[in-house]
Structure 1
Amino acid sequence: MRDELVLLAQRTLDACLARKLKIATAESCTGGLLAGALTENAGASNVFERGFVTYSNEAKQDMLGVPAQLIAAHGAVSAEVAEAMALGALAKSRAQLVLSVTGIAGPDGGTAEKPVGLVHFAVAQDERPVLLVRKHFVAPPGKVFSRVEIRRLAVLTGLHLLLEAAAPQLRA
């Protein structure tokens, strides 16, 4: 795992520990990499409560309670599904802070409306509105982001969002 991700994960864990927050993740396109970055650090068990890897639509429905009708109406890669994933993980865990991520890492699967590199994030916390973030990771001219790079950028963004939610004064 890249040092940058592990160090950011440690900062996130430290901020959550200071606020006595337990965190959970609900991941689709990152396939558990967020949970992996967090648990790469010793002492993660003091903060990281659980991770849900819900790569398929059925897993999103079975594990997180995402309604099939929501997926049918908006697609698995949508703000609506990211929000439902985060709220489902919050309800089905003992965490007070949850991050969900769903997107298209490629190289296939993109469309004009939902291109490769599109990722939706949702941050859910007890008694707070859900924060929805949409990112489209696009390589600079002359470059093409690989699947690995899109997933890495999604994990990096997710860790920044968790850190910001846990310690807003730090401005990750």
Structure 2
Amino acid sequence: MAKIFISLGSNIDPEHHLKAALTDLTDHFGELEMSSVFESEAVGFEGSNFLNMVVAAQTELSIEEVVSTFKLIEQAHGRVKGAKKFAPRTLDLDLLLFDDTVSQQPIELPRAEILYNAFVLWPLAEIAPSLNHPVVKQSYQTLWGSYDKSQQSLWPVEFNWSA
């Protein structure tokens, strides 16, 4: 069993889409460990605020199968295949970590944005504070502690969901 960490984000009816994604992820991967939900300004484009969180799960699927599952969930919730990268979205699911795998193919792991997007690093540090980044060899708590928090606006929000 591999432990995976998944970034979830939405800025189109975000509460609805995050809840739907959590239900689908539970259906596919079983019990989830969930961070708080954070609201953040859009990064890289002008748009409405995002809701973001990180969840952890266990899987016996391969990296390719996990990513394929994410794409199916995104598409089931209105994500348009091949849509512009920096644009509003109903749902964005990104595989951040697959155990301590370091790879470029089939996808980049660990995902680079862990180190530069507060909306990924803060929730990851919340649910895996003592876990070390497999490349930089520092804990996510340490990385978040040294992160320049003036770079991105981010704040926790109330969010209720039950499996």
- Higher RCO structure (Cα 8 Å, ≥6 apart): 2
**Normalising to structure 2: TM-score of the pair?**
0.30
**Normalising to structure 1: TM-score of the pair?**
0.29
Higher-helix-fraction structure: 1
